[in-house]
Amino acid sequence: MVLKFIFDRTFSFVGLVVLIPVLIVIVILIRLKMPNGPVFFCQKRIGKDGQLFTMYKFRSMTVEHCGISISVAGEDRITPLGATLRKYKLDELPELWNVLKGNMSFVGPRPDVPGYADRLSEKDRVILKLKPGITGPASLKYRNEEELLARVQNPRVYNDEVIFPDKVRINKNYLHNWSFWLDIKIIVYTIIGKDLEEEFLK
């Protein structure tokens, strides 16, 4: 875990410095295209050991609908610019600040909003030992989650009864099989858009 700590702090700092021009451009675009509201979307999420922290993203929705936890592709609350940011995961770049602060890691379970941790059974709460991540094995499997939810009749029910339990299972598997090189593999696969081997996700 020492390597993970060093990697997270070093590359989050480097990433923020290198991406300054990109971040500035996105800030300007949000100000121009979505002037009614803040540039950043800040929301309380569940972190390591169940502790709350504030997660930062670029705002991609209309202000009055930013607080809803389940997102579905094609929703009116997602602005055209926001849809582009979300498609290329650019809305998540501010999470590098969370990694630098130590709230998050590059790799781990995606941080849930308060309430979902309460649904974890006693044996599943082991995943709260992990820092939440920008990406992770469950994120790779459900990289097109919003499109998947758009195809079902009741997105919230499908998320709560199918996707959420499957993510918990995958994240438990990640915890029990963790290695630094697995983290590197997940980061590389995230960048190139490749899925993890099916054997790992079972």
| SS3 (DSSP) at 199 | helix
Q: CB of 98 within 8 A of CB of 50?
A: no
Question: 124 Cβ partners below 8 Å, 6+ apart?
Answer: 168, 172
User: How much is the pLDDT for 96?
Assistant: 98
Q: CB of 171 within 8 A of CB of 136?
A: yes
Residues found in the chain: 202
User: How much is the pLDDT for 202?
Assistant: 54
User: How much is the pLDDT for 67?
Assistant: 52
**CA pair distance 171, 130, nearest whole angstrom:** 9
Burial class (CB within 10 angstroms; exposed 0-12, middle 13-18, buried 19+) of 77: middle
User: How much is the pLDDT for 85?
Assistant: 95
pLDDT tens string, the chain, 202 residues long: the values are: 899 999 999 999 999 999 999 999 999 999 999 998 999 999 999 999 999 999 999 999 987 665 556 777 667 788 999 999 998 999 999 999 999 999 999 999 999 988 888 889 889 999 999 999 999 999 999 988 988 998 998 999 999 999 999 999 999 999 999 999 999 999 999 998 887 766 555 5
Residue 16 one-letter amino acid: L
Which of 67, 85, 90 is CA-nearest to residue 77?
Answer: 67
User: How much is the pLDDT for 63?
Assistant: 77
